[in-house]
Copies of this chain bind each other. A is one copy, B any other.
Amino acid sequence: MEEIKIIEVKRSVFADNDQDAQELRDHLKNEKTCLINIMASPGAGKTSTLLQLAIELEGKLRWAVMEADIDSAVDTEKLIHGGVHSIQIHTGGACHLDADMTKQGLKELDTANLDLVFLENIGNLVCPAAFDTGAVKNMTILSVPEGDDKPLKYPRMYEICQLLVINKVDVLEYFDFDKEKVIEYAKMRNPEIEIIFISAKTGEGIKELADWILKSVDEWNSQ
């Protein structure tokens, strides 16, 4: 099994984050590598969604995961165990990744030989939404137990994402979660946002999500 690699990244106080992000995107463009930034609350199912995607994306492209956490390597362990090439980034307590931190992590992956990298951002609906990481696409995962009102409370997250994935639909009947309402609230924040309902437990909706990802990679390479 792949060994767990932990990279301690540091935030540059003087950086112009928007410029760093654009430079990183230009670099990824040259390497024909698509970077997708996944953001969510703690426990919404970022890692388990990636594990399901591993089955669906098998043999379709060359990809890896940069897993960002404040501490521990539990998610990277799970991904490697599931056969996903991944590295662990530690942020030294920071609540989000900026573009330079993302770049520091990407250096540890051979991006020239990858079509796609997922950045699994810190579990937090506030701060990661305020920093462009240099990603090509932003997606957020909202899980059913969290409630359908999250787009009302965390506007920026929904404004900056191209895709909203609603996870844990297998437990819909046990929670007071209104699918129509969550669509209405998310579209209120961002009329362009696409929405896919999945269960990372049962695999429901994962094919649709994988198709969205494959299309994003294609678009990035043909732009």
Contacts and interface: CB of A to CB of B under 8 A. Distances in A.
A49 to B, nearest CB: 13
A69 B171 contact: no
Interface residues of A, number: 32
Q: What is the copy number of this chain in the assembly?
A: 2
Contact of A153 (B42, B168, B171): B42
Closest 6 CB pairs of A and B: A43-B146, A145-B145, A95-B126, A72-B152, A41-B42, A43-B147
B168 A127 contact: no
Given A71-B152, A124-B125, 9 more contacts: A70-B156, A72-B152, A74-B152, A95-B95, A95-B126, A95-B127, A124-B126, A126-B127, A145-B171
Overall SS of chain A's interface: loop
Nearest to A168: B145
Interface string A172-186: 001100000000000
A154 interface: yes
A117 interface: no
A82 interface: no
A207 interface: no
B74 A126 contact: no
16 contacts: A41-B41, A41-B123, A42-B150, A42-B153, A43-B143, A70-B153, A70-B155, A70-B156, A71-B155, A95-B95, A123-B154, A124-B125, A126-B127, A127-B127, A171-B174, A171-B175
